[in-house]
Amino acid sequence: MWRYARGHFTGSVLLVMIMLFVTMIQQCGKKEDAKMISDEFAVKVADKMIAKFGETSADRIRTGITQMQNFWTKEDGTEEDFIKFCMENFLVEGDSLNRSFVRLEKSLETLKGVMLELERDFQWDLQVDVGPIMPVNYLMANFSLSPNVTENLFKSKVAFWVLLNFKNYPLDEILRVSDDWTREKWAQARLAQRFNSRVPSEISQKTYEAYVSADNYISSYNICMGHLLTENGEKLFPEDLTLITHWGIRDELKAQYPESGGLERQKMIYDVMQKIITQEIPASVINNPKVDWKVGSNQVIGGDMSPEPNTRYRQLLNIFHAEMNADPYYPINPTFIDRKFNEEREIPEETVKALFVQLLKSEELKETAAVVKKRLGRELEPFDIWYNGFKSKGIYSQAELDKIVSAKYPTADVFREKLPETLMKLGFDKQTAEFLKTKINVDPARGSGHAQGAERSSDNAHLRTRVQPTGMDYKGFNIAIHELGHCVEQVFSLNRIDHPMLSGVPNTAFTEAYAFVFQKRDLEVLGLTKKDPDAEYLEALNQIWSAAEISAVALVDMQVWHWMYEHPEAKPEELKAAVIEIAKATWNEYYYPILGHKDAIILGVYSHMIDAGLYLPDYPIGHVIQFQIEQSISGKHLGKEMERMCTLGSITPSAWMKAAVGTEISVQPMLDAAREALKVIQ
């Protein structure tokens, strides 16, 4: 808001007031249109409706009129049109209202499904490895009908019918009053939340394009590892090894722990990561196998040495500006940060931060770091936040695992054909496994891999992972099992749900939790596990170590978004400097005391910070939820328990956790397990 001192009414003050008025209009959407339905007129409408429908409907009537009033514009009609609509479309609670709700709920499921299927088809060539990308593919990827959907639902008055008849509950009220809600009441509340904003289609389209652009940038950000050179000109990686950042090079770093000469290769990867963060990386080496790169001295052999021109941070700023432009049209949660935590996650930001800080400041994490140091037999490096030595791969090297996987899964199609076998090894019965196969497609990904669920029951979920020309390697398989966890959740929470408006899980962290449940069992699927009396303890230490790493990364993501809101006019180079300083400060507060290396910037490397819009907090929340789910299903049938939990649907995280595992989200079970493990593993 503009702030100015009281004084005489001068020309300069008049200018400031005009600017203030314009700003207020921008912040409130089309404020002048919304005010056409005055508070006084709204009261008259309410009185007339109460006289017709009865005092028992008074609270619903007043709520509905206020909700409509927030979004009714001149284009929607006159005051007479407003009162006519209210009188003709309000329904008292009963059969007519229930039948109308069921009909609309089903139609909105169809609408969501069709929109997703269109977008998936138009983005296909950019996301799925089906041959060379053509210029028209980029144009097609920017096409979407979705930005027009909400506005058309308002113009057709469908949205106003919902707002008139169902209350849109803010998060704090839901948490207070929802304990005794029926499933139908939950579904009706979710329907009303569908219309908590009225963002103009042109702004929605720009937001969509910003995310598509960032996703394309990240999906094609590959490092040709076989062309990285030491200062002596030595190549440390196979000639044909190409890895996407950050996921691919991070997983390669993890894979080097048991390998001879692995530390030297890890340090080279770490150097690459730092140059990506600082944008010192030469633009010519990105996704280019025609040049060699001396990483240490930053020399390019056979190409231009000019650094990447802060493209990484320009993409993030584009997303920020797109989301900020939509802010004025959200009366309840007027910033993207508010929307991510209060609407999408339905966990207050302060609660999320407290979970992460409790974990990162724990004595258990500090003692686990000492165990990591002892097991490595050397001083810790910043990249040891990705230490994976608690998860035993038995006697198999990375090359042997790659050979086993590529022989078993030469193509994405073969991986899909073997889905029932895979799912039964994970604990699903044959009938359920066969059903899941019919609802999951498998595509070879251009990027690192992801899962895209369906939005209507007639469609399928799509699992995507990288498949090399020689067949799927272990990294691709590990990602595929992770994405399979997403897809199984998506199928259950769509196809076995009682209300379409409750499809899905409470938020992304919950689907991440199931992805982690599957991913930790990847070696079981390959039949390579061996009984280890310490396995439970090693897994507890692996969980706290992994969850802490991504918690610190998530804190960076959260602070970066606050910084952008505080500096909305920042340039890419200024954002880069801010990200680096935030990464340093976060490292110094949480990791420097236990790993050393003051001012390390490695927490700023995650690609999802660039292309996914404040997504990273979902990962550590997912780790915490996964741990609680694992404890709950211990000794039980995974398939049956997962289906039971997933069919709870998209109620609030608090309500879901109480019904699924009997307790709120908490890091304490993870800390308790680590404490027990530390008594054994030293």
At 409-419, the pLDDT tens digits run 999 999 999 99
What pLDDT does 19 receive? 36
What pLDDT does 493 receive? 97
- Domain shared by 548 and 572, yes or no: yes
Could you report the per-residue pLDDT of 260-272, keeping only the tens digit for each? 999 999 999 999 9
More confident residue, 547 or 8: 547
| 619 band by pLDDT with thresholds 50, 70 and 90 | very high
**Lowest-confidence range among 237-246, 442-451, 651-660?**
442-451
Averaged pLDDT of the chain: 91
Could you report the per-residue pLDDT of 7-52, keeping only the tens digit for each? 333 333 333 333 333 333 344 444 444 468 999 999 999 999 999 9
Residue 403 is assigned to a structural domain of this protein: yes
Q: Distance from CA of residue 436 to its chain's centroid?
A: 23
Q: Average pLDDT for residues 525-550, to the nearest whole number?
A: 90
Cα angle at 303 between 300 and 305, to 5 degrees? 55
What pLDDT does 35 receive? 61
What pLDDT does 464 receive? 94
Residue 136 is assigned to a structural domain of this protein: yes
- Domain shared by 467 and 346, yes or no: no
Percentage above 70 pLDDT, the chain: 94
d(CA 453, CA 644): 19
What pLDDT does 394 receive? 58
- Residue 335: both structure tokens together: 């910033």
- Domain shared by 551 and 505, yes or no: no
SS3 assignment, position 191: helix
d(CA 370, CA 380): 9
- Domain shared by 671 and 641, yes or no: yes
Q: Average pLDDT for residues 187-198, to the nearest whole number?
A: 95
What pLDDT does 1 receive? 26
Residue 326 is assigned to a structural domain of this protein: yes
Those residues whose C-beta lies under 8 Å from the C-beta of residue 464, and which sit 6 or more positions away, are 127, 128, 442, 443, 444, 445, 447, 449, 450, 451, 452, 483
- Domain shared by 440 and 497, yes or no: yes
Domain count, the chain: 4
- Domain shared by 288 and 335, yes or no: no
d(CA 415, CA 489): 18
Of the three residues 491, 526, 561, the one that is the final residue of a domain is: 526
Q: Tell me if 485 sits within 8 A of 600, measured CB to CB.
A: no
What pLDDT does 448 receive? 74
- Domain shared by 554 and 639, yes or no: yes
What pLDDT does 396 receive? 77
Q: Tell me if 365 sits within 8 A of 540, measured CB to CB.
A: no
Q: Average pLDDT for residues 242-252, to the nearest whole number?
A: 93
- Domain shared by 536 and 675, yes or no: yes
Could you report the per-residue pLDDT of 491-512, keeping only the tens digit for each? 999 999 999 999 999 998 899 9
Could you report the per-residue pLDDT of 362-407, keeping only the tens digit for each? 999 999 999 999 999 999 999 999 999 997 655 678 889 999 999 9
Whether 73 shows a pLDDT value over 50: the answer reads yes
What pLDDT does 5 receive? 30
Whether 53 shows a pLDDT value over 90: the answer reads yes
Q: Tell me if 505 sits within 8 A of 488, measured CB to CB.
A: no
Residue 616 is assigned to a structural domain of this protein: yes
What secondary structure, in 3-state letters, does 78-95 show?
CHHHHHHHHHHHCCCCCH
Percentage above 90 pLDDT, the chain: 84
| 198 band by pLDDT with thresholds 50, 70 and 90 | very high
What pLDDT does 146 receive? 83
SS3 assignment, position 300: strand
Indicate the pTM of the whole model. Answer: 0.84
Q: Average pLDDT for residues 84-102, to the nearest whole number?
A: 96
User: 159-184 as b/e, with b when 16 or more CB fall inside 10 Å?
Assistant: bbbbbbbbbbbebeebbeebeebeeb
**Lowest-confidence range among 120-134, 288-302, 358-372, 552-566?**
120-134
What pLDDT does 548 receive? 98
d(CA 218, CA 227): 20
- Domain shared by 382 and 450, yes or no: no
Residue 84 is assigned to a structural domain of this protein: no
Residue 289 is assigned to a structural domain of this protein: yes
Q: Average pLDDT for residues 187-213, to the nearest whole number?
A: 94
d(CA 141, CA 61): 43
What pLDDT does 15 receive? 33
- Cα-Cα-Cα-Cα dihedral sign, residues 487, 489, 492, 495: negative
Residue 465 is assigned to a structural domain of this protein: yes
Could you report the per-residue pLDDT of 208-222, keeping only the tens digit for each? 999 999 999 999 999
* Domain boundaries, position 118: 95-196
Residue 539 is assigned to a structural domain of this protein: yes
- Domain shared by 126 and 253, yes or no: no
Q: Tell me if 385 sits within 8 A of 591, measured CB to CB.
A: yes
Whether 660 shows a pLDDT value over 60: the answer reads yes
- Cα-Cα-Cα-Cα dihedral sign, residues 332, 333, 339, 342: negative
How far apart are the two ends of the chain, measured CA to CA in Å?
Answer: 56
DSSP character for 224? E
Of the three residues 292, 311, 330, the one that is the final residue of a domain is: 311
How long, in residues, is the chain?
A: 682
Q: Tell me if 511 sits within 8 A of 490, measured CB to CB.
A: yes
d(CA 501, CA 388): 40
| 84 band by pLDDT with thresholds 50, 70 and 90 | very high
Q: Average pLDDT for residues 197-212, to the nearest whole number?
A: 93
- Domain shared by 536 and 669, yes or no: yes
Could you report the per-residue pLDDT of 551-561, keeping only the tens digit for each? 999 999 999 99
User: Is the preceding omega at residue 486 within 30 degrees of 0, hence cis?
Assistant: no
- Domain shared by 383 and 415, yes or no: no
Of the three residues 137, 164, 196, the one that is the final residue of a domain is: 196
